[in-house]
Amino acid sequence: MSAPSEYRVFAVGGIPEVAEGDDLAALIDTALLAQETPLERGDVLVVTQKIVSKAEGRVIRLDDVEAGEFAAEWAAAWEKDARAVELVLRESARIVRMARGLILSETRHGWVCANAGVDQSNVGGGEAVALLPLDSSASAAQIRAGLRERGQPDVAVIVTDTFGRPWRQGLTNVAIGVSGMAPIQSYIGEYDDQGYDLRVTEMAWADEFASAAEPVMNKLDRVPVAVIRGLDIPVVEADHTALLRPPEQDLFR
Amino acid sequence: MSAPSEYRVFAVGGIPEVAEGDDLAALIDTALLAQETPLERGDVLVVTQKIVSKAEGRVIRLDDVEAGEFAAEWAAAWEKDARAVELVLRESARIVRMARGLILSETRHGWVCANAGVDQSNVGGGEAVALLPLDSSASAAQIRAGLRERGQPDVAVIVTDTFGRPWRQGLTNVAIGVSGMAPIQSYIGEYDDQGYDLRVTEMAWADEFASAAEPVMNKLDRVPVAVIRGLDIPVVEADHTALLRPPEQDLFR
């Protein structure tokens, strides 16, 4: 088989519990070296948002939050924690749907997801929640730069979260931050039925890589980092914005 | 590293152009043996719908289609081929959105996608289109059984197509047919903020595997099959239906 027809995905184990102020690049570098899998050119490093949020101090104690009236009413109607609902509203630029206890909103970054990405799991016994990083692509860029400073090769970094989708059950892992790769891969396909216009298929590789990484990240406890190796991804200066559908092309605003 | 923290994805090359009546299991078996990668227990075999549609005779010559008035008007307004639009309408159980030349509909199988999955690319010079298989999980089951008959181990088979998503740019490869694995993987997570209810996270593994397979399937020409190896997926009698969100839970009907 020729080289690009195979790749592998492996977990980066041994990363300790992350706290505010931790240097993620240093933790990931140490973990990569400890398991004798230093990065190689063309790799993609996949990092879950949870440790990014923790390192960046985006964990909020619910006791420190005062819910407004709107949040309190919704929370009472649907048996939610009003303080968590308040944070969801604060993290939202726009509510897309609000029904049956579910708030689906557009975050300030432009992502549409449940609860504006506010995450109540695994962050301090349930009395704290994690907000999405302020700028996940900047976080990815910082990890990428930190790894280079430590002597690792320059590779793409993706920060991920698990989102639901309309019409389909189950969550998939998707990219919310990108640094060092084009998030969309364009294939030039066949000529169309007129025989003239080339059809271009645009695949969301950053999202597909996030999904590819998930089975090794979530299956084991506390595996917040994975490496995708073998696809020889060229380093390109790009962030996540190509993944955001422009409002005028969006049929589900 | 322990076993489940790494897996690999490889293309199955050398599959010839598929025509109606071809035995896909036989073609895949031959290709697997030719590249000396027989299936192993716990593998997942990923097959693009295009070769399934071709083998099952779901390729329609546009000259054989007569467009109705509704299709003709829409096609004229948006510079589409009226015969292709007619097929999209026939393949749709329900139109979800119809705007700006795009028809997003629910297929008879329950998938919501552009053009009801009718595919104008790579199927005979633009004068023919491929419809989705009548029952992609049955197609997956048939491939799975055929491979077993040829002495390959019993492994899960996923039939895939590339779908767009609301809010995010780019397509991702998703599962439209499943045989031999649970399409949803449930993780039992932390206790909730009351300390009592277990949170269960349901990941759409069939879709994540479809996405994981795509970079080796589309990157090379005519690679309609890939293998996911190393996740040790247990064989479970299940089809795709767990991936369909029930209408009453769907905020985007």
DSSP letters spanning B149-170: HTT----EEEEEEEE--SSB-S
- pLDDT single digits (tens) A173-185: 999 999 999 999 9
Whole-structure pTM value: 0.94
Nearest to A204 among B171, B183, B251 (CB): B171
Using DSSP, state whether B211 is helix, strand or coil.
Answer: helix
Tokens for B219?
Answer: 């990157």
Nearest to B192 among A126, A194, A211 (CB): A126
A167, A194, A218: best to mutate for the B interface, most B CBs within 10 A: A167
Residue A161 confidence (pLDDT) above 60: yes
CB contact under 8 A, A166 and B202: no
Using CB atoms and an 8 Å cut-off, which of residues 130-159 of chain A contact chain B?
none
CB contact under 8 A, A212 and B1: no
**If you measure CA to CA, which chain A residue comes closest to B36?**
A1
Q: CB distance from A204 to chain B under 8 Å?
A: yes
Residue B146 in contact with residue B47, Cβ under 8 Å?
no
Q: CB distance from B247 to chain A under 8 Å?
A: no
- Of A221, A187, A225, the C-alpha closest to A204 is A187
CB contact under 8 A, B218 and A201: yes
CB contact under 8 A, B172 and A204: yes
Please state, in angstroms and as integers, the Cα–Cα distance from residue A225 to each residue in A41, A47, A212, following that order: 17, 5, 12
Tens of pLDDT along chain B (253 residues)?
Answer: 344 499 999 999 999 999 999 999 999 999 999 999 999 999 999 999 999 999 999 999 999 999 999 999 999 999 999 999 999 999 999 999 999 999 999 999 999 999 999 987 656 556 899 999 999 999 999 999 999 999 999 999 999 999 999 999 999 999 999 999 999 998 776 554 445 455 678 999 999 999 999 999 975 557 999 999 999 999 999 999 999 999 888 889 8
Angstroms from A244 CA to nearest CA on chain B: 5
Q: CB distance from B169 to chain A under 8 Å?
A: yes
> In terms of residues, how long is chain B?
253
Domains in chain A, CATH or no CATH each: 6-58+133-244 (3.30.1330.100), 63-125 (3.90.1660.10)
- Of B205, B155, B152, B146, the C-alpha closest to B44 is B155
Cα–Cα dist B38/A130, whole Å: 45
Nearest to A203 among B8, B170, B250 (CB): B170
**If you measure CA to CA, which chain A residue comes closest to B1?**
A35
> For a pLDDT cut of 70, what percent of chain A falls above it?
90
pLDDT at position A200 is: 75
Please state, in angstroms and as integers, the Cα–Cα distance from residue A160 to each residue in A67, A180, A207, B27, following that order: 28, 15, 8, 37
Residue A9 confidence (pLDDT) above 60: yes
**If you measure CA to CA, which chain B residue comes closest to A214?**
B208
Using DSSP, state whether B57 is helix, strand or coil.
Answer: coil
pLDDT at position A225 is: 97
- pLDDT single digits (tens) A63-104: 999 999 999 999 999 999 999 999 999 999 999 999 999 999
pLDDT at position A122 is: 58
Which residue in the block uniquely carries the two structure tokens 């595997």?
Answer: B209
B236 — phi, psi (to 5°)? -130, 140
Average pLDDT, chain A: 91
pLDDT at position A222 is: 72
Report yes or no for ipTM above 0.90.
yes
pLDDT at position B111 is: 97
Residue A158 confidence (pLDDT) above 80: yes
Residues in chain A closer than 8 A to B183 (CB atoms): 170
Q: CB distance from A3 to chain B under 8 Å?
A: no
Residues in chain B closer than 8 A to A201 (CB atoms): 121, 162, 171, 218
Sequential DSSP letters for chain A: --GGGEEEEEE---PPPP-TT--HHHHHHHHHHHTT----TT-EEEEEHHHHHHHTT-EEEGGG----HHHHHHHHHHT--HHHHHHHHHHEEEEEEEETTEEEEEETTS-EEEGGG-B-SSSSTTSEEEPPPS-HHHHHHHHHHHHHHTT----EEEEEEEE--SSB-SBEEEEEEEESS-SSEEEEEEE-TTS-SEEEEEE-HHHHHHHHHHHHHTSSTT--EEEEESS-PPP----SGGGBPPGGG-TT-
A205-217 and B205-217 are packed helices; what angle lies between their axes, rounded to 10 degrees?
130
Q: Judging by DSSP bridges, how do beta strands B102-107 and B112-114 pair with one another?
A: antiparallel
pLDDT at position B122 is: 58
pLDDT at position B138 is: 98
Q: CB distance from A27 to chain B under 8 Å?
A: no
Q: CB distance from A170 to chain B under 8 Å?
A: yes
CB contact under 8 A, B171 and A99: no
Nearest to B121 among A162, A189, A194 (CB): A189
Q: Judging by DSSP bridges, how do beta strands A225-229 and A44-48 pair with one another?
A: antiparallel
Give B58's DSSP letter: -
Give the pLDDT mean for A46-53: 96
